[in-house]
Amino acid sequence: MTYVGKILVLVIMAFALIFLGISTVVFTTSKNWQTATQAEKKKVDELKKKVSETQAVVDAAKQELAAAQQTAAAQVQQLENQIRALEDQNKRDSIQITDSRAQLVTAQQNAKTSLDEVEAKRQETTLLRQQKSVVEKQANEFKLRQAELNDNIRELQRMLDTATKNNKDLREAVAKYTTLLQKNGLSTDISQIKGLETPPPVEGLVQRVDPTGRRIEMSIGSNDGLVPGHELFIVRTKPRSEYIGKVSIISTDPNQAVARLIGKTYQGKHIKEGDIVSSTIK
């Protein structure tokens, strides 16, 4: 029960007592007035005493009510202050949440951009690896081609050395033959010498074929009467006899010569080491 309720109960009790006293006085008036008066006075005194006590209780209740109101007001003020503080904190939290959401959106966009960049870098790396593989393959092919070209260069150098030596020997031979012909009163005009275009009866073997299949080395040379310009036949006897093609002598050594294929081989056959080189076809 609140303080106000206690006060009202006390006031009602006081009025009830007063009314009870009045009723009693009226009821006993017809009897002994003096006795009744004294009795009523005594009751009145008691009622006054009770009223005084009740008033004291009411005053105490008022004081308690005032104190309670002050306390309640202070609590209300404190609660209002707490509410305002919570509202301010809520505003700050709302602002912080909004900022956090904006930062989260930015972070998500940055993450997506980073992922896109990573994917692009991955694709670029894959492409570079593929290109590297192609380049390495080409480099290997170039190395093989370079080795082949180096072999050709060495072969050409050897042929050049042979041709240079043959040229020197031919010059010396031409000088000797020219001197010999002049001593014997013969013409030195090569066109007047019969039988130069017809090779002597010779037969040898193919010792080497260059990678192109267009040039060969043979086991017969200038000691066998061969000179540049002579044309010989290439034949094969195993596993069966067959015609391969025709070659022209381009340089000679005493025991070997170099010839070049004339046209194409018969039916596209390839010249092989061990094939027979002959001035006639048997």
Q: Are strands 215-218 and 257-261 parallel, antiparallel or unpaired?
A: antiparallel
Domain locations in the chain as residue ranges: 198-278
State the Cα–Cα distance between residues 201 and 244, nearest whole angstrom.
19
pLDDT in the model for residue 27: 65
pLDDT digits (tens, 9 = 90+) for 110-160: 888 888 988 998 898 898 888 988 888 888 888 878 888 888 888 888 888
More confident residue, 89 or 195: 89
CATH code of domain 198-278: 2.40.10.340
- What are the C-alpha distances in Å from 4 to residues 8, 52, 54? 6, 18, 14
Best CA proximity match to 38, nearest among 51, 46, 50, 17: 46
**Computed from CA positions of residues 220, 223, 229, 232, in that sequence, does the dihedral angle turn out positive or negative?**
negative
Least confident among 22-26, 54-58, 243-247? 22-26
Classify strands 242-252 and 276-278 as parallel, antiparallel or unpaired: unpaired
Residue for token digits 């700050």?
A: 92
User: Is residue 187 scored above 70 in pLDDT?
Assistant: no
Work out the average pLDDT over 244-258: 95
46-101 residue pLDDT tens = 877 887 887 787 788 788 878 878 888 888 888 889 888 888 888 888 898 888 88
- Of 29-38, 55-64, 164-173, which gets the smallest average pLDDT? 29-38
| Mean pLDDT, rounded, of the chain | 83
> Which pLDDT band, with edges at 50, 70 and 90, does 208 fall under?
very high
Neighbours of 166 (CB within 10 A): 23
What CA–CA distances, in Å, run from 261 to 57, 201, 240?
147, 19, 22
Classified as helix, coil or strand, 2 is: coil
Distance CA 242, CA 261 (A): 17
What is the value of pTM for the model shown? 0.34
What spatial distance separates the first Cα and last Cα of the chain, rounded to whole Å? 149
- pLDDT-derived band of residue 16, with 50, 70 and 90 as boundaries? confident
Residues pairing with 243 in the sheet: 235
By the 8 A CB rule, do 209 and 260 touch?
A: no
Cβ burial, residue 244 (10 Å; 0-12/13-18/19+): buried
